[in-house]
Amino acid sequence: MELREVDKFYFKQSEPLQTCFLALRSMILAQSPAISETIKYGMPCFCYQNKPMVYLWKDKKTEAPYLLFVHGNLINHPGLESGNRAKMKIFPVESGSNLPKKEIEELLEMAIFVLKSQLKK
């Protein structure tokens, strides 16, 4: 059986990044049955009702993983960082430690709420 492109992404990551990304993947997909996963721009993209919601990626220099929220500018959360981005915001995580599950679930709920609002327009 041939691996999907998205599965190949995870399995080519080194540890502890691979374990971190796989845990984040599980958390995101468990948030709603309306969330699907694909590869966009070479990274996993999670879509809510086929609209991009959040990406998994890593810092180019430090390889520190983060969640990249597509409509981060519409989410008010102290853990999000905009950097030099106008629309998207990131939520950095540490790959070698326990993930802040409650905080990530809260951010995902907010991102779904924003997308639902966008879909109604």
**Calpha distance 52→72 (Å, rounded):** 12
Report the pLDDT value the prediction gives residue 11, as an integer from 0 to 100.
92
Mean pLDDT of 1-24: 90
Tally of domains in the chain: 1
**Calpha distance 94→4 (Å, rounded):** 26
**Calpha distance 34→109 (Å, rounded):** 12
Band of pLDDT at residue 33, cut at 50, 70 and 90: very high
Per the structure, the complete domain to which residue 107 belongs is given by 5-120
> 9, 28, 10, 30: which is closest to 18 by C-alpha?
10
Report the pLDDT value the prediction gives residue 2, as an integer from 0 to 100.
79
Indicate the pTM of the whole model. Answer: 0.92
Task: At 119, list the tokens.
Answer: 């879909």
* pLDDT higher at 95 or 102: 102
The CATH number linked to 81 is 3.90.1150.200
74, pLDDT greater than 90: yes
